[in-house]
Amino acid sequence: MTSVNRPGVGRGHAGKSGSVRSVNFATSPLLASRTPPWRSRFVLLLVGLLFMGLVGRAAFVQIYKPGFYQQKGEVRFVLKETLAASRGRILDRNGALLAGSVQLPTMLIDTKTFAADSQQRKALVRLLGLKRGELEDRLENAKGTLVLRRHLEPPLWEQIEALGMKGVYDLPEFTRRYPEGEAAAHVVGFTTIEDVGQAGAELAFHDQLLGKAGARKVVRDRLGHVIENIDEPVLPTQGADVTLSIDSRIQSFAWQRVRDAVKTNGAATGSVVVLDIQTGEVLALANYPSFDPSDRKRLRGDALRNVAVTDVFEPGSTMKPFTIATALESGRWTPNSRIDTAPGRMVIHGATISDSHPHGVLSVAEIVQKSSNIGTVKLAQQMPAKDLWAMFNHVGLGQKPSLNFPGLAKGKVRPYKTWRPVEHATMSYGYGLNASLLQLARAYTVFARDGDLVPTTLIKRDPALGPVAAGERVMSAQTARQVREMLRLAANPGGTAPLAQEKTLGYSVGGKTGTTRISGKGGYTNRHHGFFVGLAPVSNPRVVVAVMVSAPTKGKYYGGDIAAPLFGEVMQQTLRLMSVPNDMDVKAQISAKPAVAEPESI
């Protein structure tokens, strides 16, 4: 080993080559120093160990634990997206669309890759209508993916895409559309932005309408565009459709007319319920004020209340036919039995009950026609309170309707054992109990169906079940027909609602008015509810319509003046759309002189 470093050997080797000889290696201190022989071996060993380490690490990553690192890598460029499921449609009985879903882009920002210059940011703020500093605040507080705006209209999204910002992409989502707008809002209801039913049919049939979301993995480029799908996507399952009993044509007409009635009379609210008495199907359920279910920013306030089914009120004289029916069922009276109502006033335990004016002696039929409180009370006083209570109970008052619909009011009819004499009297003409307009409409089906009470439904009836739904027997067919004739008298000259017949061209109608004072904290106020509930055609009833106009302020407040005309217009249009044959001469009706309504007792 010492011979390698001998000077003589070095010089002799250099002397054999002129090119080598010209370089003096010995002048470098580094080369001239002694190099331990183990150093080269150590360096070689170290390089070998590092190489083996890299090989081992690669084997560990790629063979023993590839999933973990693959997942970490995918987080940076692979996105797992939810594929939204379309909510089922809500259709009317004829297949017309009441509620449906449309797919719109939702704008997302990947905060890790987002890049936009000041001009792009200003343009984005302008397009989205954001407040000053709102975009920066949201970006600063966000981690990962930021949902900047949901359900953008396609033209707006195209303008945002054209800005060319990095890290901005869209996720298709569904949102609801309601073609009938305010007209059917209380029937259809609305959903949250997350497609969760909140009211009406959207809430009642939420589970059926709701679909099942899918999923997919995608690779996006720096601008947010999908460049590759990873694996097979799990496709969404669409929600099932729901077909309602509502006829959108009748619904729209009823809403327009109740809107006009509320505005004309300066009223607070108005409601209409239309029932097919053969099937119990709800053909229309309209309220005013209403709301636009597509405008989520304004989904608040009293306009959201479905007054026809959620609100209860004292029904007043609309209950008199049921008191009269109870009397006829007892067998002690007939429609021609005479009752002395003079002098038109009576006092019961300090409470005064009166008619609008003295009527003298009236037949039982005329008590309904003239809407006499005194005549009704005198009949009720001669009947057990239990019998009246049973009649009210049998027609569904004080019970929650079986209709599958949210917010249904139960109403209240106190147990007959608690009735004092004055309550026994006032109950007979509709004070001291309360009910919803829907309950009243259903109750009147007993007169239209010859004593049967029909169950109501908001779902279109299966034709295979037959044209007529089975009802519950409440009274005899004879009693129902006798009361129906009394209702016809009430809607004609000499009754409290001749306007109901005048407005129903081509069809005979029967019904009963109701006018009640609205109660407040200190007792009854000077504000009123005006009602009319009736049926047509009288000879072979097909439809029941119940109408309420609440708190009018322009002078008129009797049910015969503000509710009966609305009833007539809705009834006439409904029967026409259902192709029900006329049973009256239209020309004779038009040429007849306008009749004056009998003042109603309140």
Please give the positions annotated as active site. Answer: 317
Tell me how far apart the alpha carbons of residues 306 and 291 are, in angstroms, rounded to a whole number.
Answer: 11
Q: Tell me the HSE value of 361 on the side-chain side, using a 13 A CA sphere.
A: 3
Query: Could you say which DSSP state residue 189 is in?
Result: -
Burial pattern 99-116, b for ≥16 Cβ within 10 A else e, equals bbbeebbbbbbbbebeeb
Helix, strand, coil content of the chain in percent (nearest 5):
40, 20, 35
Strands 351-354 and 345-348: what pairing?
antiparallel
Amino acid identity at 244? L
Phi, psi of 329 (to 5 degrees): -65, -25
Tokens of 482: 């006798």
Q: Which residues contact 582 (CB under 8 A, 6 or more apart)?
A: 506, 507
CA torsion 91-191-281-268 (nearest 10°) is -120
Tell me how far apart the alpha carbons of residues 531 and 546 are, in angstroms, rounded to a whole number.
Answer: 8
DSSP reduced 3-state for 142: coil
Q: Which residues contact 182 (CB under 8 A, 6 or more apart)?
A: 255, 290, 291, 292
CA distances (Å), origin 487, targets 118, 317, 533, 581: 75, 12, 10, 21
Please give the distance of CA 543 from its chain centroid, rounded to a whole number: 25
